[in-house]
Structure 1
Amino acid sequence: MTDFKSLARLAASEMRGVFDETPLQRNAHLSNLYGAEIYLKREDLTPVRSYKLRGAFNAMRKVLADDAEVGNFVCASAGNHAQGVAYMCQHFGVHGTIFMPVTTPQQKIDKTEKFGADNVTIRLIGDYFDETLSAAQAYCEEVKGYFLSPFDDEDVIEGQASVAAEIEAQLGMVPDQIIMPVGGGGLSSGVKSYFGNACTYTLVEPQGGACLKAALEAGQPVRLAQVDNFADGAAVALIGAKTFARLRDIDPSQVLAINENRLCVTMMDFLNIEGIVLEPAGALALDALKDVADDIRGKTVVCVTSGGNFDFARFAEVKERARRSSGLKKYFILRMPQRPGALKEFLQILGPEDDIARFEYLKKSARNFGSVLIGVETARAENFERIQNELTQAGFDYRDITNDEVLSEFLI
């Protein structure tokens, strides 16, 4: 699509008056690990720490070129899109009204206010995003404003395609493979429309928000009944109609759904090894390398790290999820005999690499036994095989609830 490529290149050129291109960095650690030339397109290093300001800039630039009197840009977002719109409202000197759910963390509200300054008004409406979106669209119609979709807008898609234009210019060639996250599809549809069939794509969704895979299976966008918002930058219930039109010929085998707990392992690895802070959605492409390792050997691969807006108040949760996913931490409900020496017998089962992270009596009314919630951390995952074998041999009745989502929600 030559015309689309020209428009994306123009958008990238126009952006240089607002912010620098994001770096394309060869990552030695990943390249050595996977036997490939792996580059990271660092969208987590834009002024708002995500690629979302690209689409906002391009859409607003084109709208204002057609009608300089647009009085109000309206959007609904709980995160990166809100910050991108706010940043561009201040840049263009226009007013924006940003609707956010009442449940939006204060940190995100504060950052949006900082980027928009006096040019934005934030309205907190609705407990769930669908309620927020409906309120924003109704308000936009009422004030005759311009609604800025986070992804389902041709000008937004064109703006996100500037990522591809920069990759091509920085690499000096088209990469063999591009791995990138999918939420509503703005980034992925823009990049795919730019490169066409010149490279291979791996599109990555969070397991709790796999709306592209659902759409490909149904042949049309379908709304997911439930969404896990942990990877909130990509957890979307319904892929865009315009974005899906550009992605509908993707082979379903090229779309991966990543477990959110496993994603936390990658987030922790990159923080500890590379010193790179990524939000959950921003780590999706990197985590997917584990699943395509055999396919990328010897190839030039670009992974798009799409965002770095990580709230460190969530750090404990990410670390917890990562250790559970790596098999280094488990939770058990243990029936402890109510007799002297029983606890000591249990403690003797633990080895020098094992540690108790949680110990809580759940029920004290039983005459002969008490139920105990116990969390155990260890240095190596294989230690748990020995621990569980020795628990059985010692006659302890226990249940592993590490991956029981219902019990974990209430007890852990």
Structure 2
Amino acid sequence: MTDLVEQAQRAATALREVFDPTPLQHNDHLSARFGADIWLKREDLSPVRSYKLRGAFTAMRKVRAANPAQGHFVCASAGNHAQGVAFACRHFGVRGTIFMPVTTPQQKIGKTRTFGGDQVEIRLVGDYFDQSLAAAKTFCAEAGAHFLAPFDDPDVIEGQASVAVEMLDQLGRAPDLVILPVGGGGLAAGVTGYMARMAPDTDFRFVEPAGGASLTAALGAGAPVTLPQVVSFVDGAAVARIGDEPFARLKHLRPEQVLLAPEDRICITMLEMLNVEGIVLEPAGALSVDVLPTLREQIAGKTVVCLTSGGNFDFERLPEVKERAQRYSGVKKYFILRLPQRPGALRDFLQMLGPHDDIARFEYLKKSARNFGSVLIGIESTEAGNIESLFARMDAAGFTYRDITTDETLAEFLI
């Protein structure tokens, strides 16, 4: 543990070659809302808009120090680690080959090219990260390059621990609680390892996307396990298997310290931070803030640090984020209405709508029925109670309908 403290402090000092400490900002809005002293450690304001630069830079620096002849680095990444590696490659003047899934948002691909310049080649391989990772490791072995892992590497963990060095220096005291996002576990392992020695009384909560709960699964099994399926929406933290090295440092955690954030609820948090605070967060970057409502009673009157891990958000995804947020909060519903094929039937339904109910979607699904037709309807309102009242009026009037808002199969094909 002492070694990690010294290593993290050296890593923080070395990082000053490329950027100043990211801000630790007191957030008045969240503090007032939850009756706590809430601070945001703004890793979304690093040069690559995520904390990943810390681990990539530190690992590359140490490899170069041990073997100056190594001038080729390879990585696989869905985006943020790729940008950190690209930035470090240009800084050290070494060659980088970066494998990314074909499905990686264009914003992250473009920024990786910008950060790496002529030093970096990007290869888009596979629909999923695991396929990109396999291709990267095969290429790395053939090319005699150094594989720079995104999280399962002691040097990367050491670099991520520099977050804690800065946080304690900036706050000037130990916080009561630190909330950390978890994907592969490198950040959580580094920060908790440093804080265990320097601020042993600080408590932690760890947040995973509900569709990628690899730490939760590992704690349940007592060892890292591979999830059979991962929801990729929170692409910066949706990892099928937590790293072996990070888990070795996190296996002591209590299951109740690990919280799950539903993907659609994260969208509400992203929109709130954007609209209220003007802070752009990617889905993974919003994880730590998203769980604050579930911790309201536990954090009242305490000093809390939320780590906002990344801000690489492609605004082309904003309509999807808004849609998911509305559906989760209940202000938008989709249903299939069985409508009699007679004059006035549609008017009867329209008269059910309240003054704040808007039709966002209207589509006949079956136009050939002689007596009844199926209609896909999307209703958007100002609050969830309005739509609940609409359904109550429809029930009283004898309308036949099926709410498909949360039916993943139907929603995927119809919405």
TM-score range, shorter chain: over 0.9
Deviations 1:359-407 (A, max 9, x none): 0000112111100000001111111221111101111100111111111
> Residues 319-334 of structure 1 correspond to what in structure 2 (within 5 A)?
319-334=322-337
Counterpart for residue 226 of structure 1 = 229
> Residues 56-205 of structure 1 correspond to what in structure 2 (within 5 A)?
56-196=56-196, 197-205=200-208
Tell me if 1:269 matches 2:272: yes
> Residues 235-274 of structure 1 correspond to what in structure 2 (within 5 A)?
235-274=238-277
Q: Which segments of 5 or more consecutive residues in structure 2 lack a partner in the other structure?
A: none
Structure 2 Cα separation of the partners of residues 327 and 104 of structure 1: 30
Structure 2 Cα separation of the partners of residues 105 and 299 of structure 1: 38
Q: What root-mean-square deviation, in Å, do the aligned CA atoms of Structure 1 and Structure 2 show?
A: 0.8
Deviations 1:137-190 (A, max 9, x none): 111111111100000000000000000000000001111100010000010110
Is 302-311 or 119-128 further displaced after alignment?
A: 119-128
User: Identity percentage over the alignment?
Assistant: 66
Select which of 347, 365, 368 maps to 1:365. 368
Structure 1 Cα separation of the partners of residues 383 and 133 of structure 2: 46
Shift of 1:107: 2.6
Structure 2 Cα separation of the partners of residues 138 and 401 of structure 1: 44
Asked if the contact 2:78/2:101 (under 8 Å) is kept, the reply is yes
Structure 2 Cα separation of the partners of residues 381 and 333 of structure 1: 18
Is 258-267 or 106-115 further displaced after alignment?
A: 106-115
Tell me if 1:397 matches 2:400: yes
Tell me if 1:217 matches 2:225: no
TM-score (norm 1): 0.99
Structure 1 Cα separation of the partners of residues 399 and 307 of structure 2: 48
Counterpart for residue 296 of structure 2 = 293
Structure 2 Cα separation of the partners of residues 245 and 257 of structure 1: 21
Amino acid at match of 2:110: D
Asked if the contact 2:15/2:57 (under 8 Å) is kept, the reply is yes
Task: Give secondary structure in 2 for the equivalent of 1:336.
Answer: strand
Asked if the contact 2:90/2:119 (under 8 Å) is kept, the reply is yes
Tell me if 1:411 matches 2:414: yes
Task: Give secondary structure in 1 for the equivalent of 2:322.
Answer: helix
Structure 1 Cα separation of the partners of residues 124 and 335 of structure 2: 41
Task: Give secondary structure in 1 for the equivalent of 2:293.
Answer: coil
Deviations 1:261-308 (A, max 9, x none): 011000000111001110000000000101111101111000000000
Shift of 1:104: 2.5
Structure 2 Cα separation of the partners of residues 292 and 137 of structure 1: 41
Q: Which segments of 5 or more consecutive residues in structure 1 lack a partner in the other structure?
A: none
Asked if the contact 2:106/2:314 (under 8 Å) is kept, the reply is no
Structure 2 Cα separation of the partners of residues 393 and 38 of structure 1: 47
Asked if the contact 2:107/2:313 (under 8 Å) is kept, the reply is no
**Alignment length, in residue pairs?**
412
Moved over 3 A (4+): none
